[in-house]
Structure 1
């Protein structure tokens, strides 16, 4: 009995030693069970012990934290003590060269991150709170997307951050090996975060030197002697007395899964070693590996065909010239993924006419399916004779290629071949909004767009304009907002596309005079005088868009004049004037709502949409609201100014009396305006 008690006592001592150190807390996991961590969002623990932070679902966040807070400070001076952590992770994307987004080890005062966004914000913060000292979190990020707004060095890096997504210091993912600590040379080896292979990270904070060191290596390799990078920052002002430790991750629009296989942590000492041999296995993603028999037969067969390959060299050279592409130095600055011309040719079945989605202002748009990933895409092929093809192509690559918003059509990549230009977008299966309002050229009827979907589209595009005008690193003026450029995803959410006419300038700069381009009916009156595209000219186009989607009518309305049927004639007027006239004559503004809705709409929302459309399309730019005010009106945060039809009666007169504008449209810029108004049909 005495020996049994001694054995139990010794076991308790050993168990305590595995969770607490002499000076602080420590723990180690080689795989996880459902009771080990507290998880939320998309995070789960699989049956074989993997911590799955994200499950491949688009635009999701996931968190996992050690269940109890760790005491980071030491009395009486309250400084943050030294601590260390190590973890084995893997990122599995459906593509081997493209992913979205990354993950991070986190020290935070709470397990909750209210308002945190997915995508580049990694489920930690949002646009307004990023970098705020009140966040009090420290992270080591592993990021697979280059975000210029955070100063990222590339799309494959590790970094140490405090209170936000801008790193104190960062480095391309990799490790130093084959070196001699006593003076020999260290050699850097690159690691791809999305290689689908497990990797290990070590992070150590030295409270005495206020230094943060981060080290990486393949999961089965020993810890390198030289760290990946070092940052200096006193975490006493960042980490709270008691804080939680764990992981956060987020996805974008690409199927990506983030895993943690093992994890250890310690205060005032090195983190316990992780037993790599006991780690759970990652799920397989991608094609099955070759069988042993095929591994033997394949080299023999390859050798047998060496002579045949040599004789076919001339044909291969000719084939290469057929698919030759252009690459220039300026392309290195812009981030979107580059596709090969052959992949695009295969995806669109040789740009088959049956796969033509529409004709845009600078070329034709085709539906395609990428040969390897089977991802459906839209490929925009810029015409040879496009007057501004290259200039507008570069503008679109620069602007939308780096901007990410849930209501923007995302650019997946591009290709250049001789005189041809290609942009590859995520495919919007539901088409453009105008097809639901007016049908398409083939006369195909589509179901009536419900009021719920119309209202959601209006709010989504308004949110997108606020981001473009005020919240991105530069001011982006779209210059061609209209129903044919607003596409619908599978959930009928509105996505703004076609940035071929976009203009960018710094927030404190004055927009430059340029050619008047856009679509007749959506052009703000002041463009005839100033030729300056500003956020207020976008708001004018947005106002016309709101009226159009609410009334179900084009910006130029055809009306019948005359009481006698034999003497009746058709005339045209602007949609704004038509709404004002109907409102003034009957006093019932809601009579202008699309009759195809059959009265099935929210009257308060429809009335707000009509009045907001009239206010945004006011002929005087200073009388229009900003994009932020538009969102406040739509969200009900601020009441819309009181208005009556007589308040807006100057619309038609002001537009008609804009001296020189009509002549400018007819003579001065007919080519640029006519191009988009005649053939622009969205994507």
Structure 2
């Protein structure tokens, strides 16, 4: 009989669920959201988009022309159509954006506001505005207002400064020139835009202004019926793209609301029944014995009924409490660690990876295996990192999750989502078609050969993201495992730093203490090997080794040709430098096709970063300035300093947390001696 209460509960729950489902479907509700300043709590960032200081960036912020696309989508779906009342809602949105440029004259391509049934909308760079896939022009469905800054004859653009209404194609059904009303999209000024669609009038209007006051006259007015395009679940968002330009697309604030639905009526309404619809049954007198029997039955039911109800209530309460605890724990995990990326279901990821089949394996790491995932419905390709089932693996998973979910930079591998089901810990990243730097650099990936401009751009990109991690985050991030295999290359061979499983968050005025030295030999700073203390200077050392790899095409530690002797890359480059033959360290596969001054600069920066004395290493901000020609080259000693550690002094906790960056005098643990 144990199954009876549970069955009753199931039936009761189904009944309640059914009743409330009817109520929920009875009438759609109007929706409103207001982002005065953006956070990751309610947004999904795709492609090259990022969040910085409450402002959304849609394309890469880079000083050299590049190709980029990004989109930002609100996680809350919008219901525009009510099937019960057959009403399509109207909508109104207001947002402020700016289009600026690092290099004058390098404009293109623009941004869009869009509505789409796909919450993964991300298109190609260039004239596709991050909205349309260049290889599948009809893949993405959308209604969009474009703010175009480049004349693209392929899409019948009227000029290089126009707005347009797009429906499922970038060939606008109507365009307008905002300059006629004094609005220049490329001015760099903050432009406030209002977009209103009234379904009863079948009209969409767009207003634009440099102030917060809505003008009387719209820039664009289009007679159009959007009801057929706004059925089902719809998502609102922004997209932008560049191609061979340095244009920046920023969204500062955003409000959105729908209107036109009737208010939701109370779910319970009494029915009016007329007297003549009721059938009256005549009463038949009962015998005394029957009456007594009925009284006994009534008394029995009177006692058993409440008792049974109490048992049901206790069982229901116990199950509810158990479920509530699980949900509370789950919600706590989600709210504390992730507020932006999407939560995937295990079934969804298992299907996308063909049951985590070996043919889908992209690589193996210290804390998990990476699989290629193809989502059949959208055609989107992602990389899924599957953590091992060990305590250490879960710890590293949570470390990576909590860190990377809060970080946004164009040179970071973008976290798309996560899953924690069935004892599995899974992270979903954007797919990097060109794989890791080490495979490309050492020609393990066919068909890709790194030219000098690409190599220099890789050094510049990683310097930029490390500067962000070390000095621009609210909490400083020490990566601790910077190496060529943790640097991924996107489709445009731009670098993306990943694998935060060993990273640690620290306050800017404190040094992290590690009880276990972690990382990869050849990239580890000498003081880190000795004391297990990770600082931003240990990351700088690893970065120095990586850019020497990029310039020389040699691994950090490798065997000499025709010899069993192991050669350290830093020692080898420094020996050439001491003999005045620094540029001979250049990768022979470049065939001399490189800028000699840039090669010399990169090698000197690499040696400076890999200096055994951590106090002599530059900060990543300084490195970035040098590579951008904003600062002088570092002074590198002709002879590599050697590091001698003392074993005579005890290693106390105070000694471990000694901050070598803040010390101007030599550390008591070691002395620097010339070779």
TM-score, length basis structure 1: 0.51
The structure with the larger Rg is 2
Aligned residue number for residue 509 of structure 2: 508
Once the two structures are superposed, residues 123-168 of structure 1 have per-residue CA deviations (whole angstroms, 9 ceiling, x without a partner) of 99xxxxxxxxxxxxxxxxx999xxxxxxxxxxxxxxxxxxxxxxxx
Do structure 1's residue 352 and structure 2's residue 345 form an aligned pair? Answer: no
Q: 1:596: how far off?
A: 1.2
Q: 1:526: how far off?
A: 0.9
Q: 1:420: how far off?
A: 1.4
Q: 1:481: how far off?
A: 0.6
Q: 1:247: how far off?
A: 2.8
Q: 1:593/1:513 Cα in 2 relative to 1: closer, same or farther (>3 Å)?
A: same
Aligned residue number for residue 439 of structure 2: 435
Q: 1:511: how far off?
A: 2.2
Aligned residue number for residue 495 of structure 1: 496
Do structure 1's residue 331 and structure 2's residue 331 form an aligned pair? Answer: no
CA distance in structure 1 between the aligned counterparts of 2:388 and 2:58, rounded to whole angstroms: 41
Equivalent residues of 1:343, 1:371 under 8 A apart: no
Q: 1:609/1:265 Cα in 2 relative to 1: closer, same or farther (>3 Å)?
A: closer
Q: 1:569: how far off?
A: 4.3
Equivalent residues of 1:525, 1:658 under 8 A apart: no
CA distance in structure 1 between the aligned counterparts of 2:438 and 2:330, rounded to whole angstroms: 36
Aligned residue number for residue 464 of structure 2: 463
Q: 1:262: how far off?
A: 3.9
Aligned residue number for residue 575 of structure 2: 581
CA distance in structure 2 between the aligned counterparts of 1:375 and 1:556, rounded to whole angstroms: 38
CA distance in structure 1 between the aligned counterparts of 2:538 and 2:210, rounded to whole angstroms: 57
CA distance in structure 2 between the aligned counterparts of 1:288 and 1:330, rounded to whole angstroms: 31
Equivalent residues of 2:205, 2:222 under 8 A apart: no
Once the two structures are superposed, residues 471-509 of structure 1 have per-residue CA deviations (whole angstroms, 9 ceiling, x without a partner) of 111101111111100000010000001111110012223
Aligned residue number for residue 315 of structure 2: none
Q: 1:372: how far off?
A: 2.8
- Look up the SS of the partner of 2:542 in the other structure: helix
Equivalent residues of 2:114, 2:144 under 8 A apart: no
Q: Which runs of 5+ in 2 are unaligned?
A: 1-45, 50-56, 60-70, 79-91, 104-109, 116-140, 146-187, 195-202, 234-325, 650-675
Aligned residue number for residue 402 of structure 2: 398
Q: 1:383/1:264 Cα in 2 relative to 1: closer, same or farther (>3 Å)?
A: closer
Q: Number of aligned pairs?
A: 398
CA distance in structure 1 between the aligned counterparts of 2:114 and 2:350, rounded to whole angstroms: 32
Q: 1:454/1:660 Cα in 2 relative to 1: closer, same or farther (>3 Å)?
A: farther
Aligned residue number for residue 68 of structure 1: none
Equivalent residues of 2:190, 2:210 under 8 A apart: no
- Look up the SS of the partner of 1:359 in the other structure: strand
Aligned residue number for residue 416 of structure 1: 420
CA distance in structure 2 between the aligned counterparts of 1:244 and 1:456, rounded to whole angstroms: 29
CA distance in structure 1 between the aligned counterparts of 2:359 and 2:230, rounded to whole angstroms: 31
Q: 1:617/1:277 Cα in 2 relative to 1: closer, same or farther (>3 Å)?
A: closer
Once the two structures are superposed, residues 102-125 of structure 1 have per-residue CA deviations (whole angstroms, 9 ceiling, x without a partner) of 985449xxx875669xxxxxx99x
Aligned residue number for residue 585 of structure 2: 592
Describe how 1:169-180 pairs up with structure 2 within 5 A.
none
Q: 1:268: how far off?
A: 13
Q: 1:284: how far off?
A: 7.1
Describe how 1:371-410 pairs up with structure 2 within 5 A.
371-385=376-390, 387-410=391-414
Once the two structures are superposed, residues 619-653 of structure 1 have per-residue CA deviations (whole angstroms, 9 ceiling, x without a partner) of 1111000011001110111111333532x2x2xx4
Describe how 1:133-152 pairs up with structure 2 within 5 A.
none
Once the two structures are superposed, residues 354-398 of structure 1 have per-residue CA deviations (whole angstroms, 9 ceiling, x without a partner) of 11100011111011112332211000011224x511111111111
Q: 1:348/1:266 Cα in 2 relative to 1: closer, same or farther (>3 Å)?
A: closer
- Runs of 4+ off more than 6 Å: 195-199, 264-274, 283-289
Q: 1:329: how far off?
A: 2.0
CA distance in structure 2 between the aligned counterparts of 1:545 and 1:558, rounded to whole angstroms: 18
Equivalent residues of 2:556, 2:569 under 8 A apart: yes
CA distance in structure 2 between the aligned counterparts of 1:509 and 1:450, rounded to whole angstroms: 40
Describe how 1:585-664 pairs up with structure 2 within 5 A.
586-646=579-639, 648=640, 650=641, 653-654=642-643, 657=645
CA distance in structure 2 between the aligned counterparts of 1:660 and 1:196, rounded to whole angstroms: 70
Q: 1:265/1:93 Cα in 2 relative to 1: closer, same or farther (>3 Å)?
A: closer
Question: 340, 343, 355: which is aligned to 2:345?
Answer: 340
Once the two structures are superposed, residues 450-485 of structure 1 have per-residue CA deviations (whole angstroms, 9 ceiling, x without a partner) of 111111000000000001110111101111111100
Q: 1:514: how far off?
A: 3.4
- Look up the SS of the partner of 1:509 in the other structure: coil
Once the two structures are superposed, residues 413-435 of structure 1 have per-residue CA deviations (whole angstroms, 9 ceiling, x without a partner) of 10012321100000000111101
CA distance in structure 1 between the aligned counterparts of 2:215 and 2:609, rounded to whole angstroms: 59
Equivalent residues of 1:92, 1:196 under 8 A apart: no
CA distance in structure 2 between the aligned counterparts of 1:277 and 1:628, rounded to whole angstroms: 48
- Look up the SS of the partner of 1:457 in the other structure: helix
- Look up the SS of the partner of 1:570 in the other structure: coil
CA distance in structure 1 between the aligned counterparts of 2:630 and 2:574, rounded to whole angstroms: 26
Aligned residue number for residue 453 of structure 1: 454
Q: 1:630/1:355 Cα in 2 relative to 1: closer, same or farther (>3 Å)?
A: same
Equivalent residues of 1:369, 1:376 under 8 A apart: yes
CA distance in structure 1 between the aligned counterparts of 2:633 and 2:404, rounded to whole angstroms: 32
Question: 183, 192, 208: which is aligned to 1:247?
Answer: 192
CA distance in structure 2 between the aligned counterparts of 1:510 and 1:410, rounded to whole angstroms: 27
Q: 1:350: how far off?
A: 1.0
TM-score, length basis structure 2: 0.52
- Look up the SS of the partner of 1:455 in the other structure: helix
Q: 1:366/1:269 Cα in 2 relative to 1: closer, same or farther (>3 Å)?
A: closer
CA distance in structure 1 between the aligned counterparts of 2:431 and 2:630, rounded to whole angstroms: 34
CA distance in structure 2 between the aligned counterparts of 1:472 and 1:375, rounded to whole angstroms: 30
CA distance in structure 1 between the aligned counterparts of 2:208 and 2:547, rounded to whole angstroms: 55
Q: 1:285: how far off?
A: 6.5
Equivalent residues of 1:523, 1:540 under 8 A apart: yes
CA distance in structure 2 between the aligned counterparts of 1:581 and 1:500, rounded to whole angstroms: 35
Equivalent residues of 2:477, 2:505 under 8 A apart: yes
Once the two structures are superposed, residues 262-319 of structure 1 have per-residue CA deviations (whole angstroms, 9 ceiling, x without a partner) of 4499999998799x99754459779999xxxxxxxxxxxxxxxxxxxxxxxxxxxxxx
CA distance in structure 2 between the aligned counterparts of 1:246 and 1:266, rounded to whole angstroms: 5
Equivalent residues of 1:382, 1:422 under 8 A apart: yes
CA distance in structure 1 between the aligned counterparts of 2:542 and 2:373, rounded to whole angstroms: 31
Equivalent residues of 1:105, 1:245 under 8 A apart: no
Once the two structures are superposed, residues 337-360 of structure 1 have per-residue CA deviations (whole angstroms, 9 ceiling, x without a partner) of 100111101111111211110001
- Look up the SS of the partner of 1:358 in the other structure: strand
Q: 1:582: how far off?
A: 2.9
CA RMSD of aligned residues (A): 4.5
Equivalent residues of 2:205, 2:221 under 8 A apart: no
Aligned residue number for residue 554 of structure 2: 553
